[in-house]
Amino acid sequence: MKNYLIGKNLWGYVPGTEVKPSIARFAPTLAETKAINEWNEKGKMVMFIITQKNSNSMIGHIQELETSKEVWKSLENLYTSTSKARKIQLKNELNNVKQSPSITISRWCFYVRWKGSILEF
């Protein structure tokens, strides 16, 4: 996912290096307003991409978060966690995984192996 966001020139929104443009306090210019709107739209696009690329079971963990940086950090913590609760969640996901027509066999096998490898830690 990181590579995808880098390729789309959107990665800066995740670590926060793409800083929100500053505006005049009371009367922003048209250019400032346009820059803010563009920054907000790209930030929303990053949030959309991140949420669409994750399983439905993760949506509950990130739906209330407001920035892509918060979402990324939350998912990073969830995916790297090896707590007992996380292992139970992963086992449940593996027990309920189904290969759907919209997912190729190789992608489905990769997903199952990836989930299983997390449990081995």
DSSP assignment string, 4-46:
HHHHTT-GGGTTT-SPPPP--SS---HHHHHHHHHHHHHHHHH
CA dihedral 54→17→5→118, nearest 10 degrees, is -40
Dihedral sign, CA of 50, 51, 56, 58?
A: positive
- Do 84 and 59 form a contact (C-beta atoms < 8 A)? no
Tens digits of residue pLDDT in 20-39: 888 877 888 888 889 999 99
Give pTM, 2 decimals. Answer: 0.58
Q: Is the pLDDT of residue 81 over 70?
A: no
pLDDT at 120: 62
pLDDT at 55: 65
pLDDT at 37: 93
- Minimum mean pLDDT range among 5-14, 22-31, 56-65, 90-99: 56-65
pLDDT at 38: 93
- List the one residue out of 99, 98, 43, 103 whose CA is nearest residue 71: 43
> Residue 65's pLDDT band (boundaries 50, 70, 90)?
confident
- Determine the average pLDDT of the residues in 7-31: 86
CA distance 115 to 112: 5
